[in-house]
Structure 1
Amino acid sequence: MLPKTFSDRNVSVLGLGYVGLTLAVAMADAGFQVHGVEVRQDVLDKLGQGNPHFHEPGLTEKLRHVIARGRFTFSRNQQDCSQASVFIITVGTPLGKDGRVRTDMIEAATRQVASCLHDGDLVILRSTVKLGTTRNVVAPILRATGKQFDIAFCPERTLEGQALLELNQLPQIIGAESLDVATRAAQIFGFLTPTTVKVSTLETAELIKLVDNTYRDVTFAFSNEIAKLCNAMEISAVEVARAGKLGYPRTNLPLPGPVGGPCLEKDPHILIEAAREVGVEMAITAAGRLVNESQPVEVADFLGKLAHSMQGFPEVPTISLMGLAFKGRPATDDLRGTMAKPVLEELRQRFPAPVCAASTRWCGRTTSAPSGWSRRPT
């Protein structure tokens, strides 16, 4: 628990999505007085009933615990945060229709912080952003208030399904322009995790987050490319991946498959955009993303050829997709960036199937299918 003399015990978290809510509950559980700000009324309504709006192991119990203890409150605006000395921005950064990262939600959240900023407050950006966003987007809005403030970038790095556990275990990257600010941020996160890693600039921390997810995306793309070669040569891609890394520490090829989710489908594009602005083309990153984005077409093509090669295969089959969430182990109910939808769309173009049945069960969890999808039990 926090020492009574610790000055930064009042925290405001702006954005109570997957990142913000788990962080807010973890901080409240560690002894911070946390106020969450969320503009979506349906999310606030669920929280008012003691329920999160998504599944995360252990979150419901901890949420109800910190609400009952009076350490976590929430509202639609920033006016209830007059006691806060630390503001953590965790809002989303989706790609726009032009393929470029949007910062409008970060700007709106920063303006909310600016409306109640006091001299000496610390503002931490935690959203995944393009390089330079903390310095060139967030800081100018805060500076316009005329107040003196500290600013840091401390990226979220947790895995859905293990968020509460990893918030207490993973090293926390701390990006700041001075040792004093980095130390202040490190002290705050030090109540959650035993390890903090201070880096020299805001942009260094921003890049580490993008590298984390892009590295995984490129690795998966290589695995999918190997799988394509294995299919052409009638070799088992699973056997290549598993046998090749057995007792051999320098190769860890993941199993192939569709690559989606709210991070891996987005963050490589943010990295590519940032690099182009300084004259660097991320050729491997772009190629990897192209390979992964082509998977729904390749999966449907493979199944189409396989079906037509099988004697007696029905002309009008019933197609079942087993699992909709982008991740099933550990279990989540997150449909953002699910690859089931583009796979289903490609299958519908190749099979005259009147019913495409999408399973909504995985790892003991169920959810409603997205609009336009039929639901069948597994």
Structure 2
Amino acid sequence: MELNTRFGEYGGCFVPETLMVALEELESAFLNIFPNPAFQKEFQEYLTTYAGRKTPLTLCRNMSKDLGCTVYLKREDLLHSGAHKLNNALGQALLAKHMGKKRLIAETGAGQHGVATAIAGAVLGLEVDVFMGEVDIARQALNVARMNMMGARVIPVTSGTRTLKDAMNEALRDWVARVRDTHYLIGTVAGPHPYPVLVRDLQRVIGDETREQILSAQGRLPDIIIACIGGGSNAMGIFHPFIDDASVTMYGVEAGGEGLDKKHGASLCGGRPGVLHGNYSYLLQDSYGQIIESHSISAGLDYPGVGPEHAMYKDSKRITYTAITDTEALEAFLYLSRTEGIVPALESSHAIAFARKIGPELSKDALLIINLSGRGDKDVETVLRYMRGAA
């Protein structure tokens, strides 16, 4: 069996030669160790008895009444660590341990992937170093503290924009230097092959559960699924099991920042194809191919690229991609908190905001599912600053 290295024209493996052996080793492990029944039994036990899967599919009665259609949330915020990131982190970390690796490195923006990697390292007995931009360290202090408490070392990145892109750059440089004993635990469906496939397959548990749960609750598939997109792992996780269902319309919501004509993080809506971090996909870049600084109120969406499978679905029009501004996301954060008593991550708030836009246009019989990719306690300080400024 071989894995496809491309999604249409996107994807690929554009890395230094020194990393090719490690990537080939990872692909071999994914093809041979990962499907092994003993590995799967161990992995599934961690997901269920440790991470807390299955996560619920919650009917939002008040939001449904307000929007005029039936709205459900897929509650990845209730997973241990508070976000979908742990699905991928546990799977990759366990695979790395079976490969004989002693150390994990990761990049993080909002800190949720760093926290998930720290959790996986602690429970599996692996050393963890997390690269995080100085800007993100300042706005995600809670998650930095959580990583440190679990024994991970958070390494500040002071180059470039000091955000997620630069953290990923530094992690790749570290991996080149310590490739023998280290596994780079990439947190999204981007990066060089085989990461886009590996991370997607570790996150598709979200969509598999959603499919089973909505059929049990409503006896049919949803009409619409909405998810936020930075690199795109939570979105691909819920979308992928529904790709072949033509009746299901899917929306990926990017970071519109201050507006698509200003500063934003919407690579699919406002970018063009190029190479970044080992793969060919849509990027924010200037006419010379230099990466443009991205912007989002949400650290997890503040990235100038996107996973290559999303790029393919944009071109084929199987998934519709749109953008929500910082202001709209902040309003949605407060809306869900006050309407349903659920505090969403600012990343997920982008999906909530888009649902508020299209919900009133749908029929009263429409079924709409939003992937609530994470909880919002990490973003409270950011929202409070906004509320004080708006007062």
Looking at secondary structure, tell me which structure has more helix per residue: 2
Greater relative contact order: 1 or 2 (C-alpha under 8 angstroms, separation 6 or more)?
A: 2
Looking at secondary structure, tell me which structure has more strand per residue: 2
Q: What is the TM-score normalised by the length of structure 2?
A: 0.34
Q: What is the TM-score normalised by the length of structure 1?
A: 0.35
Higher-Rg structure is 1
